Copies of this chain bind each other. A is one copy, B any other.
Amino acid sequence: MPERQYLYKGRILNLALQGSYEIVEHAHAVAILVEREGQILFVRQYRPAIGSETLEIPAGLIDPGETPEQAARRELAEEAQLTGELEYLTSFYVSPGFCDEKLYVFRATNLRAAFAQPDDDEDITIEWRNPRQVLREARDGQVQISASAMAGILFYLSERGLESPVVDA
């Protein structure tokens, strides 16, 4: 493989060419699945990159020096004012054709209140929603969801399958 020629080095990403490949280097990220009585904790926020609101789950970039679990604990406190026991579920590359961002997904249980200062530049709303309903709305284009939300929803459903009722609350 030829060396990477950097075209831009920025705050959260770098852009490089490697041979004919356009490559974005991006910080790794975490997302946290939080469940309660048949609902998942979603985060609604406006995303300038897509010019629209999204439904995501609590998530954020891993800061330098942090482990994925430390980042997950920090983000859960900042975004949802919650803490608990964290279980690592899986990780995946969001779009490995051009980008090296890896997303680590955790589940939080035994929840209790936490107090953390939200990021200044984040304007988010917390919503407890039925995951099957959100998945259906995403399919029909009524809401825009992130890979983090999709992973959280499908993890939730994959562990229940036919066990839980098909009808929505």
Instruction: Mark A residues whose CB is within 8 Å of B.
Output: 1, 7-8, 10-13, 15, 18-24, 26, 29, 47-51, 54, 56, 61, 88-103, 121, 135, 138-139, 141, 144-147, 149-151, 154-155, 157-163
Contact = CB atoms under 8 A, between A and B. Distances in A.
B24 A92 contact: no
**What is the oligomeric copy number?**
2
> Which of A18, A88, A97, A154 has the largest number of chain B CB atoms within 10 A?
A97
A30 to B, nearest CB: 12
Nearest to A16: B49
Rank and list the top 8 A-B pairs by shortest CB-CB distance, nearest first. Answer: A161-B161, A154-B154, A157-B158, A94-B94, A47-B96, A92-B150, A158-B158, A94-B95
Nearest to A13: B22
A103 B73 CA distance: 28
A154 B147 contact: no
A interface, over-half SS: mixed
A99 B49 contact: yes
Contacts of A145: 92-93
A47 B138 contact: no
23 contacts: A1-B51, A7-B7, A7-B15, A13-B24, A15-B15, A19-B48, A23-B48, A24-B99, A49-B96, A50-B93, A50-B100, A56-B96, A90-B139, A91-B139, A91-B141, A92-B138, A92-B146, A150-B154, A154-B157, A157-B161, A161-B163, A162-B162, A162-B163
